[in-house]
Amino acid sequence: MDSTAWNERYEGSQLVWSAAPNIWVRQLTADLQPGTALDIAAGEGRNALWLAARGWHTTAADFSTVALQRARSLAKQQLGGDSVRVVTLEADVATWVPQERSYDLVLVVYLQIPKKVRRPIMRAAAEAVAPGGTLLVVGHDLENLTSGYGGPQDPAVLYTPDDIVADIEPAGLVILRAETVTRSLTDDQGEPVEALDALVLARRPLA
C-alpha cells in the first residue's frame, strides 16, 4: 500500500491501532535509560508517545501525513508541554535512511512488507543504533499464518526471527533475543486467542 491508501485508512477511523503501546515495547524498553528513540513506520505514534511520556526524545517516522497529524494531536493531549519530546518525520521508510549510530533506541513494530523491501530497511534501522543502544523489531511471524490468530494472510510479508537476524547481521549488533513469542488477545467475539510474533532484540556494543 502507498501513502495515499494509508492516509485514507487513517482518515476513516478514530484510531486504526490501539492507543496503548505494543506489549513487547512496553515490556522490553521499560527499564532502559531514556535517551533518543526512533520509531520507524510509527503510524499514529502510540509507541513514540509512550516512550516520550517516560522521558525519551522520540522521532516518529511514517509516510502517512494523516497518521502523523494524529500523532502530533495526541502528543499535545497526552503530554502537554512535554509534547516537544515527540518529533514527527514524514518519510517513506523504503527509501529514507536514518543517520547512522544516532539513536539510543530504534523500533520497527509490525512493518509487514516483502523481503526485497524489508531487508534494506531493517539493515538501516540497525545501523541507526548508537553505541550502547538497542534495536527492537516485532512483527507478525510466518508461523502465525497457520498457528496463530489475525495478522496479514500473505506469507510474502511475514517473517521469522531468523529472517530479521540475517537482515541486520552486517550492522554488527549483538543479538539478545531472537524468538517467536505468543501474544494473548481477544477475537471479535471476545474469546481469548493467541497471535505469534517474531521478536528480535539487539544491542550495539559500546566499543
pTM of the model: 0.91
Q: Which has the higher per-residue pLDDT, 200 or 185?
A: 200
Cα dihedral angle (23, 24, 26, 31), rounded to 10 degrees?
150
Residue appearing with cell numbers 516485532: 138
Per-residue model confidence as pLDDT tens digits over 98-109:
999 999 999 999
What span, in angstroms and rounded, lies between the C-alpha atoms of 16 and 9? 8
Per-residue model confidence as pLDDT tens digits over 10-62:
456 565 445 689 999 999 999 999 999 999 999 989 999 999 999 999 999 99
What's the total number of domains in the chain? 1
For the CA atoms of the chain, what is the radius of gyration?
A: 16
Can you give the pLDDT at residue 40?
97
Q: What number of other Cβ atoms are within 10 A of residue 72's Cβ?
A: 15
Please determine, for residue 8, whether its predicted confidence score (pLDDT) is greater than 60: no
The CATH number of the domain holding residue 51 is 3.40.50.150
Residue range 81-98: average pLDDT?
94
- Residue 86's domain comprises 3-203
